[in-house]
Structures are given as structure tokens and as C-alpha cells.
């Protein structure tokens, strides 16, 4: 039997009588990277923010590691981590101060160096947030969200706007976090990213989950329905060319 860390049952939320989340049910297993995909307006953010205790639920239930989000929100907050928007950092704050600030908010005292090392930013400990590149800011925001060792970690479009090296570097970091036993729930508009990174995905549209499975199973199901497209024989793509020419090293 699967070890379920998140259980969502018949969850609903409307704005001005218009359903944004329309009775969805799904489970996330401990230790997986779970992707929530869907076009803009599908209801992804509303769903995530209800799980994160940031928006009130109209009806249905959410349980995070056995805790009920509606009645035990404060306890839920202790075991989840939400990647903050990188804009949340003060430009004139040093990285060490930022880590200390976030850990203090959870009543923890952590070694800023250790946390920055884990996201490959140890050398920047005395730099200001404004001196970081886009990829570095994303890694800093991940570090701030895991200072309290959450069991469930949420990322909202973590690689939007990053160059290919920074993007692959962030995939490695997300996998490392998963491999440490943290369950990861993420949204992305990049379907290649979801296919490579996510153990399972849910596809949302109009407030409903219209498919949920491993990427490979969803692709196989589509093929079984008779779908086919013109075959491409290339074993590489333009991004592979780019990485081959410019290297895998971080350019930050
Ligand atoms: P997604 O994250 O998939 O883009 P959202 O959850 O942000 O979707 O939005 C789902 C629907 O709910 C959209 O139609 C959106 O306009 C509406 N919506 C989201 N937040 C609010 C809000 N605070 N007030 C009114 N309508 C909202």
C-alpha cells in the first residue's frame, strides 16, 4: 500500500459563485515529486493555497500527514515549506541574515552556512540578495523554505525565466530534496520539465482534475487511443546543442 502524505477529498472553492476548484480528489505519496499542470485559470494556485492553509476551503477536506488543514492549520504550517517569491527578499540583506530571519520565524536556529552550502550558495554567504542572478535567487528562496525541515514542500513555477544551465541545476536540487525524503509538489508550464522531473502529475482544467498518473503512463494511454504524430529521428534537441556548446557549469 502507498504511504499517502496528502489526501484531498471533494475539494471546492468558488469566487462570486463561479467554481475555481470544482470538487477535486487526489492523493500524493510520501517521497514523490508531484506536478500540478494546467492552463492559466485552471485552479492550480487556488488548490495549492488551500493546501498551504492560505485560502479558506468552501467544502471538502484536506489532510496533510494526518492533520486536517481546516482545523489544525497551525500544525500543518509547521510541517510544510512554501517557496517564497524571490521578490520577498530585501535587496540590502545579506544571505546569512535572510536564512537566519526565516529560521527564526520557525523558532529554529540553523547554520546559515550549512543551508547555503546545500543549495550551492555557500560562497555567497556575505553577499547581498541584490547581487544574485535569477538562478541563485531561486536557490536562495528554496533554502529559506526548507530551514525547518518540512515534510511537504511546494514550488510554484520554480524555473520560469532561468537559462538552461540554471534550470538543470535546479532540477538536480529538487531531486536532492526529494531524495532526502521530502515530498515535493510543484507547478510548471514546461511540460518537458514535468516529464523529466515529476514522478506523477495531475492535469487540471476548469477546476477539475482531468488526468492523474505517471508521465509515461499518460503518454502510453494517449498512444493507445491511436494518437500519432510525425516521427522525429533526432536523438538530441536544440537545448542539447546549447548545453554541449556552452557547458553544464553554472553561469551565474
Ligand atoms: P491557475 O493557478 O491554474 O492559473 P487560479 O487558481 O489562479 O488558477 O484561478 C482559478 C480561477 O479562479 C480563475 O478563473 C481565476 O480568475 C479565479 N480566481 C482566482 N483567485 C481569485 C480571487 N482572489 N478572486 C476572484 N477570482 C479568483
Ligand 1 atom 25 nearest Cα: 15
C-beta 46 within 6 A of ligand 1: yes
Distance CA 53, CA 73 (A): 6
What is the distance in A from the centroid of ligand 1 to the CA of 15? Answer: 8
Q: Is the sign of the CA dihedral 172, 2, 187, 218 positive or negative?
A: positive
Cα–Cα–Cα angle for 36, 37, 39, rounded to 5 degrees: 140
12, 13, 16, 20: residue to mutate for ligand 1 pocket, most atoms within 8 A of CB:
20
What is the distance in A from the centroid of ligand 1 to the CA of 41? Answer: 5
Residue 66 C-alpha cell reads as 494526518
**Tens-digit pLDDT profile for the chain (252 aa)?**
789 999 999 999 999 999 999 999 999 999 999 999 999 999 999 999 999 999 999 999 999 999 999 999 999 999 999 987 766 788 889 999 999 998 998 888 888 998 899 898 999 999 999 999 888 998 999 999 998 999 999 999 999 888 898 899 899 999 999 999 999 999 999 999 999 999 999 999 999 999 999 999 999 999 999 998 888 788 888 888 888 898 877 766
What is the distance in A from the centroid of ligand 1 to the CA of 210? Answer: 18
Angle, helices 164-179/238-246, rounded to nearest 10 degrees: 90
Q: Is the sign of the CA dihedral 177, 179, 181, 185 positive or negative?
A: positive
Q: Phi/psi at 221 (nearest 5 deg)?
A: -60, -40
Distance CA 184, CA 172 (A): 13
Distance CA 92, CA 51 (A): 32
Q: How many CB atoms lie within 10 A of CB 102?
A: 25
C-beta 13 within 6 A of ligand 1: no
19, 24, 41, 201: residue to mutate for ligand 1 pocket, most atoms within 8 A of CB:
41
Amino acid at each position: 500500500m502507498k504511504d499517502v502524505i496528502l489526501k484531498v477529498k471533494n475539494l471546492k472553492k468558488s469566487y462570486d459563485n463561479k467554481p475555481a476548484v470544482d470538487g477535486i480528489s487526489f492523493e500524493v505519496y510520501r517521497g514523490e515529486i508531484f506536478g500540478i499542470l494546467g492552463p492559466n485559470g485552471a485552479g492550480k494556485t487556488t488548490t495549492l493555497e488551500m493546501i498551504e492553509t492560505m485560502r479558506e476551503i468552501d467544502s471538502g477536506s484536506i489532510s496533510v500527514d494526518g492533520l486536517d488543514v481546516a482545523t489544525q492549520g497551525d500544525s500543518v504550517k509547521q510541517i510544510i515549506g512554501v517557496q517564497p517569491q524571490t521578490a520577498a527578499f530585501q535587496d540590502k540583506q545579506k544571505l546569512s541574515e535572510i536564512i537566519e530571519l526565516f529560521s527564526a520565524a520557525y523558532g529554529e536556529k540553523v547554520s546559515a552556512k550549512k543551508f547555503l552550502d546545500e543549495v550551492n550558495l555557500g560562497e555567497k554567504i556575505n553577499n547581498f540578495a541584490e547581487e544574485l542572478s535569477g538562478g541563485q535567487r531561486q536557490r536562495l528562496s528554496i533554502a529559506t523554505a526548507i530551514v525547518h525541515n518540512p515534510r511537504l514542500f511546494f514550488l510554484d513555477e520554480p524555473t520560469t525565466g532561468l537559462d538552461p544551465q540554471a534550470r538543470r541545476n535546479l532540477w538536480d536540487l529538487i531531486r536532492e530534496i526529494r531524495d532526502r525524503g521530502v515530498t515535493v509538489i510543484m507547478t510548471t508550464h514546461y511540460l518537458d520539465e514535468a516529464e523529466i522531473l515529476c514522478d506523477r502529475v495531475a492535469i487540471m482544467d476548469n477546476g477539475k482534475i482531468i488526468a492523474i498518473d505517471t508521465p509515461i503512463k499518460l503518454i502510453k494511454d494517449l498512444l493507445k487511443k491511436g494518437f500519432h504524430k510525425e516521427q522525429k529521428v533526432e536523438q538530441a534537441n536544440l537545448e542539447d546543442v546549447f548545453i554541449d556548446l556552452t557547458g553544464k557549469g553554472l553561469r551565474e
